[in-house]
Amino acid sequence: MRMVHLKGLLALVLCAWLGVAAAMPPQLFKPEWFLPLARLSPADGARVVLPQAPVDVSAVRYVAQDRGLSLQDFQQRARVKALLVVHRGHVVYEHHRWPYGPQSRHQSWSVMKQVLSTLVGQAVMRGDIRSLDEPMDRYLPTLATNGFAGVSFRQALLMTAGVRYVEDVDRVRLFQSTILRRLSGGLVGESLAQQVASPKLDQAYQPGSRYEYASIVSQAVGMALEAATGQSVRALVQRDVWQALGVPDEGRLLVDGDGQSLALCCLYATPHTYALWGQWVMQDGVWQGQRLLPEGWMGRSAGFDDPLAWRSTAVPRPAKTQELFGFAYHWWPLEGGQGDFTALGIHGQMVYVSPRQQLVVVRLSDDYEEGAHNEEAIAAFRALGAHLNKSAPH
């Protein structure tokens, strides 16, 4: 009986502590301190290292807030930890802010959502998912018990699932509950699987009728993908990214106390790994002569080829000053007719891709300003691409 009381007291203390932690500055929140990190092993066999071809980018200029700025200005203003630029398949510029270096693993935050999108594309290509218009609960029946009932993969990838979820509040609660369950030995809190299947997630609007960003939707996509493939998200990342691309570096993926992979965030990888992945999607999923994504997938996934993709006018964003970021299959296609797109995570995580300019830019930051200088980043990277293509020999 005393042990039960002690566990109950511990649960209360944990609840109080996490309530305080939720109000802490974002730079103090490190989910990997409380939840396990599953290892992603370097690829077996041939490993790919992008060749180096350094280029002087000191002359690059872009405009932000009516000022002409340099790439070095951007690095300082946006608190960049790592910046890696790949042009025409070569690393032309690389910056690491001390104490970070080439082998440092950086938290992806929501860039993992775009990795998840590529995993779905690979599952479609293999036939594990027959159609994006299939309901996810056909593969994962627990989704039929709440607002996810009947929601298709396409609707979920477009963030039009319709479940009742307030991202800025409920995402914090998701982490709190997941951490509480692990630290209390299951006395309090809920696993990710329990939260995705929760009856509290009722339907707030008709699926497909409007855009509303909700991280719980990404987690549901990940778990439906697991059910369709018979593999965990971690195993899929290992096989379909690390092994398929020949990634030479170790990575990590956050899991809950039950071993359930997080699909909404929390990949930990080196800048080079993010660059390899960015180069692959820049090539529409072709890697070393082998097609690893359906042809045209990236145009639909990260562009406006799907007529249901959201233009920027329908996509609210913090610190929005221009119509720039649209939304497709968990990616952020960019307005302006340049065909570029980006992966985004909070605090300035970004993998920018411009197929026309044959450019991939990995930006990893601890930028806690609202908007995380993301609009400025696009201006800087478009200017960088124009500079590189003008100065590079044909």
Q: Which pLDDT does position 318 carry in this prediction?
A: 87
Q: What percent of the chain has a predicted confidence (pLDDT) above 90?
A: 91
What does the pLDDT look like over 349-358, one tens digit per residue? 999 999 999 9
What does the pLDDT look like over 236-256, one tens digit per residue? 999 999 999 999 999 999 999
Distance of alpha carbon 266 from alpha carbon 215, whole angstroms: 12
Q: Which pLDDT does position 263 carry in this prediction?
A: 98
Residue 4 has pLDDT above 50, yes or no: no
Please compute Rg for the chain using Cα positions: 21
Strands (E) in 225-358, as ranges, are: 251-254, 267-269, 286-287, 290-291, 332-333, 341-345, 349-354
Query: What's the whole-number mean pLDDT along residues 255-265?
Result: 98
Q: Which pLDDT does position 3 carry in this prediction?
A: 45
Q: Which pLDDT does position 19 carry in this prediction?
A: 52
pTM above 0.75, yes or no: yes
For residue 157, what is the domain's CATH number?
3.40.710.10
Rounded to the nearest integer, the mean pLDDT of the chain is 94
Domain residues for 98? 2-391
Query: 117: how many CB neighbours lie within 10 A of its CB?
Result: 23
Q: Give whole-number Cα distances, 246 to 79, 106, 116, 249, in Å.
A: 30, 19, 18, 9
Q: Which stretch of DSSP H or E encloses residue 363?
A: strand 359-365
Q: Which pLDDT does position 377 carry in this prediction?
A: 98
Q: Which pLDDT does position 393 carry in this prediction?
A: 60
What does the pLDDT look like over 280-323, one tens digit per residue? 999 999 999 999 999 999 999 999 999 999 999 999 998 999 99
Please name every residue paired with 293 in a beta bridge, in sequence order, or none if there are none: none
What does the pLDDT look like over 5-52, one tens digit per residue? 444 445 444 544 455 445 556 666 899 999 999 999 999 989 999 999
Close Cβ partners of 179 (under 8 Å, ≥ 6 residues apart): 18, 31, 34, 35, 189
Q: What are 91's two structure tokens?
A: 């690393």
Q: What percent of the chain has a predicted confidence (pLDDT) above 70?
A: 92
Q: Which pLDDT does position 359 carry in this prediction?
A: 98
Q: Which pLDDT does position 391 carry in this prediction?
A: 78
Q: What are 383's two structure tokens?
A: 């200017």
What does the pLDDT look like over 325-365, one tens digit per residue? 999 999 999 999 999 999 999 999 999 999 999 999 999 99
Close Cβ partners of 238 (under 8 Å, ≥ 6 residues apart): 40, 41
Q: Which pLDDT does position 13 carry in this prediction?
A: 46
How many domains, in total, are found in the chain? 1
